[in-house]
Amino acid sequence: MQQYPKFIYNVAKFAMRPSTVQRDEYVRVMWHKLCNASTLSIPLKGDSRELLVEKNDLKKGYAKVIEKEFGNATKWERHLKRYSLLKNDFEKIAKRISKAQEIQMSECKKTYLAWISTFEKYSYYFMTPFALEVLLDPECRKLCEKEFDEKAEDAFAIISTPTELNIEQKIRIEMLDKIIKGDKSFENIAKKYFWMTEYSFVEPLANEEYFKKQVEGIGKEEAQREKEKIIQRIGQSAKDYETLAKKIKDKRLKLLAEMLNKYTVIRTDRICYLKMAQAGMRKIYAQIADELKKDTDNNWNYSLVPYCTNEELFEYLKKKHAPDFDEVKKRVNEGYVYYSEKGRPHFIYGEENIKEIVEIIEKQQNLGDKLKGIIAFKGKATGKARIILGKSDLHKVGETDILVARVTIPDYIPAMKKAIALVTEEGGITSHAAISAREMRKPCIVGIKGITKVLKDGDLIEVDAEKGIVKVIK
């Protein structure tokens, strides 16, 4: 067996996401800045990668985020103010690029440096929900039990339900309004929100047909009902939260409730702002690809640039030192394991090496005997499990099926609406799956380790979201 970095024998999962090297670099940048942590990215079946961090550093990093950003009311207030700056700075980058008719290499250099600097500046916000779910969620639950006794679960459900519309819901309402008015053109929607399908710089961006498909088969009356339901539920949730907040006596619980409730919206919106900027950065990457093709004898194209490291792009933009074309191409065509130590990125290639590393990681992940997780929305359902490892699997979900995924994203919404229950491997109370389940009023359990590996597609299962347990019937 090849010698691998020692830290990979003691890692913990941070997230599972569609990823390219540029996205892997996000994880390196944020964790290096936070606590000089080592990171790892391995391929998974489907269109995602598993992003891991050295186990001790993961705990240390989460604790540092909570202390720095959520230690008291003053820090929380500062956190919210800086979040407003994040929104503005990411929107500025997106607008600056979109307005440019032609981008010179000097502008590419400035914009790329500004992009990396901006992401690093606000990197805390991209790991905050994970820290909240690991550390503050349990604390909040305990304080709810202490203050509300047998009504603790009801109180926590109110705290963890959004009380204002997030960006995705606002876009949905805009689409429903089109149907209500009888306007069949979604061209303006596509121009404004083309970034909706952005994840790792390589996915097709949303076009008019994409948005039409999201509301396919919905008539005027149904659109009106859905719009009213979205607004009514948010309004009711806001009233419920306001009533509960007045009853909370414990100062710490009051602060925790506000933090967790705010993050049910911030968690979604912060990613929307990131997507806006990322989609804009595609212009920069396209220009870099064109220049690389001119400067070298190699057939550079856009699809290769997101598989370069930050350092490789810096070297080219600053000194005209082109990335190794063959190595970058190998990352795209043959796959790779990415890892960082002391803030430096490294790669491991070769099918056997990749397979060995994946096995090393899997041995560390204790799946346990029980399929138990966090209740996101109560209820029970029995149906066939449909394992979703990527968007290409969504067609499998029928109206009597249970959607089982590593994590859900907005593109999964049509399939989630069809399913009778939702189960995810990752996530907590502020996750996309949890929030969507509460909106849809569907039984949902999140955070069940390894469930996409334990279950087989088509297994008949029972989702008991009263106890947080999934059982295989046959």
- Of 80 and 370, more confident: 80
Model pLDDT for residues 210-248, shown as the tens digit of each residue = 999 999 899 999 999 999 999 999 999 999 999 999 999
Q: What pLDDT, on a 0 to 100 scale, did the predictor assign at position 391?
A: 87
On average, the pLDDT of the chain sits at 92
More confident residue, 385 or 47: 385
- Which pLDDT does position 366 carry in this prediction? 67
The 3-state secondary structure of 196-239 reads HHCCCCCCCCCCHHHHHHHCCCCCHHHHHHHHHHHHHHHHHHHH
pLDDT at 188: 95
Q: Does the pLDDT at position 98 exceed 80?
A: no
Beta bridge partners of 424: 405
- pLDDT in the model for residue 103: 79
The CA–CA distances, whole Å, from 334 to 101, 360, 387 equal: 36, 20, 25
What average pLDDT does range 183-199 have in this prediction? 94
Sorting pLDDT into bands at 50, 70 and 90, what band is 146? very high
Residue 15 neighbours by CB under 8 Å, 6+ apart:
27, 50, 51, 130, 407, 426
Rounded Cα gap, residues 361 and 8, in angstroms: 7
pTM: 0.91
What 8-state DSSP symbol labels residue 398? -
Locate 128 and state its tokens: 């905050």
Mean of pLDDT values over 65-86: 92
pLDDT at 390 over 70: yes
Average pLDDT over residues 265-274: 92
pLDDT of residue 101: 66
Residue 286 pLDDT exceeds 80? yes
Q: Which two tokens stand for residue 215?
A: 């509301």
Q: Which helix (H) or strand (E) holds 55?
A: helix 55-70
Taking only the tens place, the pLDDT of each residue in 419-444 is 999 999 988 888 899 999 988 999 99
Confidence of residue 367 (pLDDT cuts 50, 70, 90): low
Q: What are the pLDDT digits (tens) for 157-190?
A: 999 999 999 999 999 999 999 999 999 899 999 9
The residue-averaged pLDDT of 145-152 equals 95
| pLDDT, tens only, 243-257 | 999 999 999 999 999
Which residues of 86-126 form beta strands (DSSP E)?
none
What lies within 8 Å, CB to CB, of 282 at 6+ separation is 201, 205, 302
Indicate the Cα dihedral angle 155, 156, 162, 168, nearest 10°. -150
Q: Which of 454, 434, 437, 439 is nearest to 385 (CA)?
A: 454
Residue 458 · residue 295 · CB < 8 Å: no
Read off the pLDDT band of 1 (50, 70, 90).
Answer: low
For the chain, how many helices (H) and strands (E)?
18, 13
In this prediction, residues 358-381 reach a mean pLDDT of 85
- The DSSP letter of residue 431 is S
Contacts of 322 (CB under 8 A, 6+ apart): 292, 295, 296, 298, 316
For residues 92-104, average pLDDT: 78
Distance CA(340)–CA(347), nearest Å, equals 9
Q: What phi and psi, each to the nearest 5 degrees, are found at residue 325?
A: -60, -45
Q: State percent of the chain over pLDDT 70.
A: 99
DSSP code string of 446-467: E--TTHHHHS-TT-EEEEETTT
Look up residue 147 and give its two tokens: 């203050």
User: What is the H or E stretch that residue 275 is in?
Assistant: helix 251-295
**pLDDT one-digit tens code per residue, 15-54:** 988 889 999 999 999 999 999 999 999 999 888 899 999 9
Beta strands 380-388 and 401-405 are parallel
Instruction: Band the pLDDT of 364: cuts 50, 70, 90.
Output: confident
Residue 350: pLDDT over 80: yes
The Cα 343–Cα 28 span in angstroms is: 7
Place of tokens 């679960």: 153
**Rounded average pLDDT over 263-283:** 92
pLDDT band at 362 (very low <50, low <70, confident <90, very high): confident
Q: Has residue 410 got a pLDDT over 90?
A: no
Asked if residue 99 has pLDDT above 70, the reply is yes
